Structure 1
Amino acid sequence: MIDFILYSIKSGLYLAIFYGFYQLVLAKETHVKRNRVYLLTAILFSLVLPSISFTIEHEELAKVNQVVWEFENSIEDQLIIGESDSSQKIIFDSGFWMTLLYSLGVLTILGRFILNLVSIFKIIRANEIKKEGDLNLIYLEQAHSPYSFFNYVFWNPSILSKTENKQILLHESIHSKQLHSIDLLIIELLKAFFWFNPIIYLVKNALVEVHEYCADQACVINDTNKISYQKCLVQHIESRMNFNLTSAFKSSLTLKRIKMIKKSNTSVWAHLKLILILPVLIISMLSFDYSEIKADDPEMNISSNRESFSSPIKPAEKVWISSPYGERMHPIKKKKLFHAGLDIAAPKGTPIYAVADGLIKKLQANHVEGKAYGRFIIIQHDGDIASLYSQLDAYSVELGEQVKKGDVIGFVGTSGISTGPHLHFEIKKNGANINPADLIDLTSLKRK
C-alpha cells in the first residue's frame, strides 16, 4: 500500500504540472483538437513517468564517521524488539484502515460507473431506435437536451425545430466520429482508482470542455451559422445531462462555448508553446525520480575485501549457524520476520573475535538484561563497513580502542532476548545491511 501511495503522489504531481500548463498556456486557444490530444497524453504520461527512475553514476567519497553514526541509529531503532508489538499493531491498524477506505472509494465509484452503463443500455433497449447514417437515434419522451454515447443519440425531436434538429444531430455525430465516449470511459475508470486525487476531476472537466469545443468547431461553418448555432445553445441552457459517460449538446459550459465560437482562430505558431513544458517536465522528472549509483571502486568492493575478513567465532564442535540472514520464523514471536544478521550458537563464554581491523565505535554498557540486543559492540572498519556483535556475556575491549583482525573483543552470552547462548552478528556497508556470508567464509560454521 505504501508503494501505491508514493506512486499516486508522484502521478498526481505530474498530472498537476500538466494541468497547470494547460490552463496557463493552452486552454484559451482555438486549437481544440490539439488540446484534446494534450490532455490524453498528459494522463498517459502521469501514469507512466512515476515508474521511471533516472540514475547518475559517480564515485563515492569517503564518509566513515557519517556511516558509523547512521549505522548506530538504525541499530538503536532495532533494540526495541521486545517492546514493539503495540507499535506494530498501530502500524498494521492504520495500514488496514487506509486500505479499507481506499477500497470503499474504488468500489463506490466503480459501482456508479457500472450503474451508469447499465442505465444507458436499459434506455437503448426500452426505446425506439432509428438508423440515420452512422448514428442510432433513440427517441425519448422526456423533454431534456439530447446527449450521445458512442454512436447512440438520445433525444426528443418533437420539442425541437427542424433547424435545431439538424444542428444537434451534426453536433452529436462529431462526438461519435471523434470517439469522445472512449475518453470519458477512460477518465471515469481512472477516477475510480485515483478518486482521492482532486486533479483527476479537474482534468475530466477540461476534457469534457474540449469535447464540446471540438463538436462546436466542426458545426460552425460561417458567420450566419454561428449566430443560429449560438441561439440553439441558449435555447437549451436549462436542460441537464443525465450520465457522466455521455456527451450532451447542452452542458454547464454554454457561456464558455459561445465565447470560444466567437474567438478568432489561434495562429498555427501557437503550437510552439508546447515546447515550454519540456524544461518543466525534465526538472520534475529529475526531482521526483532521481536516484544515484556509485561507481565501482576496488577498495570499496565487497568481494575484493573478502580476504581481509575472518569469522567472528572459530569453528568448534558445538558452534554452528542457528539462524541465517534473511526472512525467518522468529524463535520467540513465532512469525516470519526479516533477520538483518545471522546467529551463531556457541557455548557461553566462547571467545568472539574482531572480523577485521577497526575502531570500537560503540560499546553498550547500559543494557537491560534479557532485553533487545543486550551487550553489544560496533566496530568501524575501512571501506564504510561496520560490524555488530551482540548478546555478549562480557567485553574484553574498551570504547575507542583500535583492534586488529582476530583480536578477542568479548564472549558469547545471553544478555538480550535469547533462547540460548549465541552471537547475533550483523554487517553494514554504506549504512545498509548486507549478508555477512557475502563478506566472510562461514562454511565451516554450517551444520554438517
Structure 2
Amino acid sequence: MEALLIYIAKSCSLMLFFYCVYYFLLRKETFFNNNRWFLLFGLIVSAVLPLLNYTRVIWIDAPALGNSIQSSLMEIPEKEVSTFNWSHTILLLYGIGFLAFIIKFAIDFYSLNSIIKGKKIQQQADFKFIDVSENIAPFSYFEYIVYNSSLYTSSELENIIEHEKVHSDQNHTVDVLISRLFSIIFWFNPIIWLYKKAITQNLEFIADSEAAKKLQDKKSYQYTLLKITTHENCVAITNHFYQSLIKKRIVMLNKNQSKKKNSWKYYTVIPALAAFVLLFQIEVIAKEKPQTIKETTGETKAVDIYKIHKGSTDAELSEIKNKLKEIHSVNFEVSDIKRDAKNNLTSIKVDVTRGKQQAQSIQTGDQTIKDFGVLIITDQKGNKTIGIQTFEDSKSSKAKTGVSNNITTLTSDDDSKKSTDSKIIITNNNQNTKIETNVNSNSNTSTKTNSNTNSTISTIVTTDDNDAVTKITTSNGKTNVAFSNGSSKFSNTQESPLIIVDGKEMPSTFDLEDLKAQDIKSMSVFKGINAVSKYGEKGSNGVIEIETRK
C-alpha cells in the first residue's frame, strides 16, 4: 500500500509540473502541434517515470558481530495497537470512483455506437461521412465524420467538414481517448481534469488553424463557430466541432504566429526531470564489506558474508554461486524458488557444502523471505568453515504460526582436532532465549529455529587449542555472549538486568566475570512481559538465569 501511495504522489506531482509549464509558458503560443506532443509526453512520463528506479550500491563497514546482552534486553518491542484500517477504506473509495467512471465511459461508447450504427455511410478518400437527422453538434471519430446537413448552409457545412477532416486525418481521437483513460485512472486528482481540458482545447486550436489555411473566407469560418454554439448536444469521446471557450478559439485563430525563439520554453522540463530522477528514482543499497575478526588470543580470522535478500535476482544468486566456487571451493545450490507479483522471493532453499561441512537454510511461506547470508570463516592457517547468518530485527521475530520453517545447520569436517570444543543448542520462543553448552570432543555447531516462528538464528563458535577461547554469537538481534580465556565478558553501559544463579538472586554489584565458561551449564534470557510476570517489577530490565555445573 505504501509503495502505491508513493507512486501516486510522484505521478500526480509530475502531471502538475507539466500542466503548469503548459499553462504558464506554452498556452498562449501558436505552437499547437508541439503543444499536442508536449501534453501527451507529460502524461506518459507521469505514468512511467515513477516506475523506473536506478539502484546504486555503496559498501559499508560491517558492524561488530556482538552487542552486549544488556543492550538486547532493552530492546523490548512495543505492543501493537489495533487501529482502523485506512488502507482498505481508501482502496474501497477509489474502487467506487473508478467503477463509476468506467460505467460512464461504457455508456458514452454505447451512445456513440447507436448514432453511427445503421446509418448510411458515404466513403470519400480516407473519410466516412454520415449525415444524421439528430440535432447534435458535428463530430469526428477516427475516420467517421458525423453531421446534420439540414442545419447548415453549404458554406457553413464546408467549414465544418474541413475542420473535422483535420481531426480525422491527424488521429486526434487517440489523444481524446488517452486523456479520458488517464482521467478514469486518476479520477481523484483535480489536475488530470484540467490536463484533459487543455488537451481537448489544443486539438481544437490545431483543427481551426489547419482548416482556416484551406478556406478563403476566414470570417465566414468564425461565424460558423459562433453558430455551432447553439447546439447543446455533444457526443463524448469524440472530436466535436462545438467546444466551450469559443472566444479563445477565435482569438488564437487571429493571433500572429509565435517566434521560433520561444521554443526554448519546451526545454525547461529537462533539468526538472533530471532533478526528479536524482532525488527520487535512485535507490541506494548498502552492502557490508567482508569482516575481519580479531580474537583475544591475537589470531585473525576473515569472515566473508554473501548476502541474500528478498529482491535477489536469479543473476545475483548465480553470481554468488560462482564466487563461492572460485574463491572458497564451496558448492552453493538453490532450489524451491518462489516469487510474488513484485518478483520478491517468498520461498528459497539454500544448500552449502564444502567437503563434509554442510549448511542449509529453508524459508517458505506467503511472506517475503528474511535476509540471510552465506558465511565463510577463514582462519590464519587457511582453514575454512561455512555457515548461514541471518539478519533479523526485533519486530520481525513476531512470526505467525505456520508461516515459514527456517533451519540453519553448520558442521565441521575437522574430526582430527583434539581441542575441547563446545556444542551449542539455541532455542527461540517469543522473547525467551536459552543457550546450553556441553563439552564435546568434536567441533560441531548446530543452530535451529522454532518452526512456529519466522526468524532464523545463526551461531558461530570458535575455539582456541591452548586457551580454550569460545566465542558465541547469535544473529537474531536478541542475544550475544562471548567467553574469552575462561571469563565471561559483559557490558554494564545500561541498567543491569536481574541475574539469577542456581535459583539465587544476585546483588546489583554481581559481575559475570566471576563465572568461568566451563562452569556454566545453561543460560536463559527473559525479556518484557515474560520477565515481569515471573519476577515482578524486579525483572523490568530483563532477567538472566544461569545454571552452573556445580
For this structure pair, what is the TM-score category when the shorter chain's length is used for normalisation? 0.5 to 0.7
Residue in structure 2 matched with residue 28 of structure 1 by the alignment = 28
In structure 1, C-alpha distance between the alignment counterparts of 2:283 and 2:217, rounded to whole Å: 57
Which position in structure 2 is the counterpart of 1:400?
A: 493
Look up the equivalent residue of 1:168 and give its one-letter code. I
CA RMSD after TM alignment? 4.4
1:231 to 223, 238, 251: 223
Which of 71, 78, 88 matches 1:96?
A: 88
Q: Deviations over 1:7-54 (max 9, x none)?
A: 111111111111111112111111101110111111111111101224
Supply the distance in 2 between the matched residues of 1:255 and 1:279 (Cα, whole angstroms). 35
Higher RCO, 1 vs 2 (CA within 8 Å, ≥6 residues apart): 1
Residue matched to 1:371: none
CA deviations 1:63-116 (Å, max 9, x no partner) are 99xx99xx989955x442xx54x33xx3xx322222221111111111111111
Q: Which amino acid aligns with 1:244?
A: A
Q: Which residue of 2 aligns with 1:423?
A: none
- Which has the higher mean CA deviation after the structures are superposed, 1-10 or 254-263? 1-10
1:144 Cα deviation after fit: 3.2
Whole-angstrom CA distance in 2 between matches of 1:409 and 1:205: 78
Give the aligned residue type for 1:345. T
The reply to whether residue 198 of structure 1 matches residue 190 of structure 2 is: yes
Letter in 1 for 2:234: N
Amino acid at match of 2:136: H
Letter in 2 for 1:47: A
Instruction: Please say if 1:131 is aligned against 2:131.
Output: no
**Which of 214-223 and 226-235 deviates more?**
214-223
* Contact map agreement 1:145 1:239 (CA 8 A) in 2: yes
Aligned pair in 2 of structure 1 residues 204, 400: CA closer, same or farther (>3 Å)?
same
- Are the equivalent residues in 1 in contact too, given 2:234–2:242 (CA < 8 A)? no
Q: Distance in 2 between matches of 1:143 and 1:73?
A: 80
Q: Could you tell which deviates more after superposition, 48-57 or 335-344? A: 335-344
Query: Residue 134 of structure 1 contacts residue 151 of structure 1 at CA under 8 Å; is this kept in 2?
Result: yes
Query: 1:124 deviation in Å?
Result: 0.9
Q: Which has a greater percent of strand? A: 2
| 1:280 aligned onto 2:272 | yes
Structure 2 match to 1:427: none
What displacement does 1:121 show?
0.9
Structure with larger Rg: 2
User: What is the identity, as a one-letter code, of the residue corresponding to 1:305?
Assistant: V
Partners of 1:139 and 1:157 within 8 A in 2: yes
Kept in 2: contact 1:396–1:410 (CA 8 A): no
Query: How far off its partner does 1:334 sit?
Result: 5.7
- Asked if 1:169 is matched to 2:259, the reply is no
Amino acid at match of 2:43: I
Segments of 5+ residues of structure 2 without an aligned counterpart are 294-300, 306-360, 368-395, 409-424, 438-474, 481-487, 495-510, 531-550
Kindly state the Cα deviation for residue 285 of structure 1 after the two structures are TM-superposed.
2.2
Aligned to 2:478: 388
- Distance, in Å, in 2 between the alignment partners of 1:244 and 1:32 is 22
For 2:121, give the aligned amino acid: I
Q: Map 1:255-294 onto structure 2 (within 5 A).
A: 255-294=247-286
Is 1:51 aligned with 2:51? Answer: yes
In the TM superposition, 1:36-435 aligns within 5 A as 36-58=36-58, 60=60, 75-76=75-76, 78-80=77-79, 84=81, 86-87=82-83, 90=84, 93-221=85-213, 225-294=217-286, 297-299=289-291, 305=303, 344-345=426-427, 350-351=434-435, 387-389=477-479, 397=490, 399-400=492-493, 411-412=523-524
For 2:217, what is the secondary structure of its paired residue?
helix
| SS of corresponding position for 1:28 | coil
Residues 229 and 149 of structure 1, relative CA distance in 2, 3 Å threshold? same
Change (3 A) 1:53 1:332: closer
**Counterpart Cα distance in 2 of 1:10 and 1:57:** 23
Closer, same or farther in 2 for the Cα pair 1:212/1:352, shift >3 Å?
A: farther
- The answer (yes or no) to whether the contact 2:137–2:231 under 8 Å persists in 1 is yes
Larger helix proportion, structure 1 or 2?
A: 1
**Residue 239 of structure 1: SS of its match in structure 2?**
coil
Unaligned runs of 5+ in 1: 308-322, 354-384, 419-448
Alpha-carbon distance in structure 2 between the residues aligned to 1:220 and 1:165: 14
C-alpha distance 338-212 of structure 1, shift in aligned 2 (>3 A): farther
Gap change, CA 1:331 and 1:203, over 3 Å in 2: closer
- Rate the CA distance shift 1:3–1:387 in 2: closer, same or farther, 3 A: closer
| Displacement after TM superposition at 1:389 (Å) | 2.8
1:57/1:292 contact within 8 Å kept: yes
- 1:391-426, Cα deviation, whole Å (9 max, x unpaired): xxxx9956328999x9789823666689xxxxxxxx
Cα deviation, residue 298, structure 1: 3.9
* Cross-structure match for 2:15: 15
Following superposition, the deviation at residue 126 of structure 1 comes to 4.2
> What is the one-letter code of the residue matched to 1:142?
E
Measure the CA separation in 1 of the matches of 2:173 and 2:245: 18
SS at match of 1:148: strand
